[in-house]
Amino acid sequence: MTRARPGSFRRHLALAWLPVLLFTLAGAAAGCSSAAPVGWSSGPAGPSTGSTTAGSTAPSGHTMGHAMPTSAEVDAMWAARPAFVQTADARTQEAYAFAVARPDITDWMPCYCGCVAMEHRNNTDCFLKPRAVGITITYDEHASYCGICVDIALKAKSMAAEGRTLIEIRAAVDSQFGGSAPGTDTGLPPG
């Protein structure tokens, strides 16, 4: 058996990881970070998938660009959801419904798909455009083709249903998804 020189081994190891790194960066830049959402529309939408008032896991008065919708707004917004949400798989639709109904949770979760390049600030931005109180929700198509965005929202939904705090949910999201791509610059939840 022939031994490779130590420098040669490191060079081969570095070259072996280069395609993985390039693939990851290309996926973050192209697959999950398309600069212009296509086919987004605005309109009412959203089934009642959770409380629309701040509960034990969500502080009241947060904003981060996504006003908390009323139950009536959520129902109307879901009824008028765009085709890219209507035709999405069940998990993606569930994640959109959660982001619509509970920005008080998803606003505090970073996204780790590389969408920071799209100037996203948090996981909600992957599903919805920022809005003020009384303004109709505008859907963002990004999450309809990005599994990481969907996985983060569904992780937050599951943990919120268990009664976990925003801090606990955030720690779990950071632990599970952090490091997969550059994350959004999302502030830590109060608590």
Q: What is the pLDDT of residues 43-61, one digit of tens each?
A: 333 333 333 333 333 334 3
Most confident option among 29-43, 44-58, 160-174: 160-174
Region of 52 please: left (phi>0), alpha (psi -120 to 50) or beta. alpha
CB-based contacts of 7, cutoff 8 Å, min separation 6 = none
Predicted pLDDT of residue 134? 74
Residue from 89, 104, 85, 3 nearest 45 by CA: 85
Would the pLDDT of 132 be above 80? no
CA atoms within 13 A on the CB side of 6: 0
Q: What percent of the chain has pLDDT over 90?
A: 55
pLDDT of residue 75: 94
164: amino acid identity, one letter: R
Q: Confidence band (pLDDT; 50, 70, 90) for 173?
A: very high
